[in-house]
Structure 1
């Protein structure tokens, strides 16, 4: 492998900002506004980096108020869903099983011509009786901690490969878990999804897709695709972006996975730091009110991640 893990995500921050109708100078001023706001939020344990704030500004189309809410959610969720976030550490022994044997997940290196990031999710040929979908959600959160610092794009194209999904995986997928996954997608990662593409879907796994359809918004529902053949992906994603495993020209899934393992190691100090961050609700300027998040929290706080 001749790729520096620090250069694994190719992006063009200035171009993405321009497509969103902003100049670099205007974007910097908006970041400064959010940084000033952070100074008034004494309940938050730290201030997000400029890169992270810029990412949230882009996904909200530079809405200052929505960006503030996402910044607050980034920390508040860690306190209210503390049991879940305990597992968002690459060195957690149980989590390593998911990352090393059960699933692949990583963003691909290159952006599409319209500046979207392609993400690969694939089950591996490994049957694990203790499988829990929320452990995989924790895996995605682990990767997100890198994306929020390094990645900037117009949104995401997600490819989900069910070739090796087991019936036991399907049986352990519940509506509540699916709702929690959608909560993270919409409320924490705030992903602008261009398309979700399912490939190699066995009949018994169609129930998972049916569950997903019950929780996503209509605009996402209209962007779900089930492909009968892998080659159909080429209509949505250029070959030069896709891994060799899918008929593309990029490194194989295994090679990319090893590179991402190295990248995770380099971020380990940040993961350790994140485990300690808590919101001090006593210092919050205005109390939390009933909201979509708190409604989700009531459903999720007792969910079993083990």
Structure 2
């Protein structure tokens, strides 16, 4: 790419493209092209991959997402293709208006916020609404998140993600009672190992006394590094101390349009004919395990479909 194309919803700072290229030592286009060439050559040699062709700008974003490391980008592509094969239930739906929204029915409002921070971080904000929760509802939410993540992976050019979860309108204990921990762990694995998202922080907004129990569960789902980046904010003022106001929606003390407005825009973008067709093609990127020469990655995830390490919840 020579520059970042205009996106219908994601915005970038004026210097984002040059900053990210310089940060990861790709100031010269020929250096990035050489890295993409090497990535393409590697993909072509993976006999067990069911999809061998990817847009070059897509591969560039994977490299940037992994701090300029082609080797790390290869690892995450390998893992995502494997996880699509081992956990197909997360990747069988394509149209959020048809497959997710009718079931979620206002349970939560979420958005990757359009504006980047000055450090080129993308903020993801999810507000849990006061509705009856269930494990099946959570699963629909996970699928919607994955569809959204596919878009981010294909279109964003950021330097990491800041997650905000607003739990003020829901009983945190209801989440703990209804959430299927196996499915939640699978979602975390897809996001971190498959998509390779670099999480700068997870900020939960609530005054609930039960939040410590949920935090303990979450810290056991993530790596120790990410676990140390999970924070609880009792007030909006506390949140605004770590997340810039010029990025946040107006109802969160910010200057941007409301979360509901950006949520609705995302629904339209993710339901567009162009994107639905794109994600159908991308979800063909799986593995034929009978052709795999090295079983290391497969063995790593053999238990992912139904087990995980023991959780301790007092």
Tell me whether the two structures share a fold, i.e. TM-score over 0.5.
Answer: yes
- Is 1:96 aligned with 2:101? yes
- Is 1:177 aligned with 2:183? yes
CA spacing shift, 1:165–1:50, aligned 2, 3 Å:
farther
Structural mapping, 1:64-75, within 5 Å: 64-75=70-81
**SS at structure 1 position matched to 2:270:** helix
CA spacing shift, 1:140–1:289, aligned 2, 3 Å:
closer
1:304 corresponding residue in structure 2: none
The separation in 1 between residues aligned to 2:123 and 2:304, in whole angstroms, is 28
Give the number of equivalent residue pairs: 295
Summarize deviations over 1:133-180 as a string: whole Å, max 9, x none.
333221111101111111011101111100222443321124423422
The separation in 2 between residues aligned to 1:270 and 1:125, in whole angstroms, is 34
CA spacing shift, 1:282–1:290, aligned 2, 3 Å:
closer
The separation in 1 between residues aligned to 2:104 and 2:136, in whole angstroms, is 12
User: Which runs of no fewer than 5 residues in structure 2 stay unpaired?
Assistant: 1-5, 309-314
User: More displaced, 217-226 or 125-134?
Assistant: 125-134
- Is 1:228 aligned with 2:229? no
User: Which runs of no fewer than 5 residues in structure 1 stay unpaired?
Assistant: 301-306
Structural mapping, 1:185-204, within 5 Å: 185-204=191-210
The separation in 1 between residues aligned to 2:39 and 2:104, in whole angstroms, is 34
Could you tell me how far 1:82 is from its partner in structure 2? 1.2
What TM-score does the superposition give when structure 1 sets the normalisation length?
Answer: 0.86
2:291 corresponding residue in structure 1: 283
Structural mapping, 1:1-306, within 5 Å: 6-11=7-12, 12-25=16-29, 26-46=31-51, 47-87=53-93, 89-93=95-99, 95-97=100-102, 100-129=105-134, 131-166=136-171, 167-266=173-272, 267-274=275-282, 278-287=286-295, 291-297=299-305, 299=307
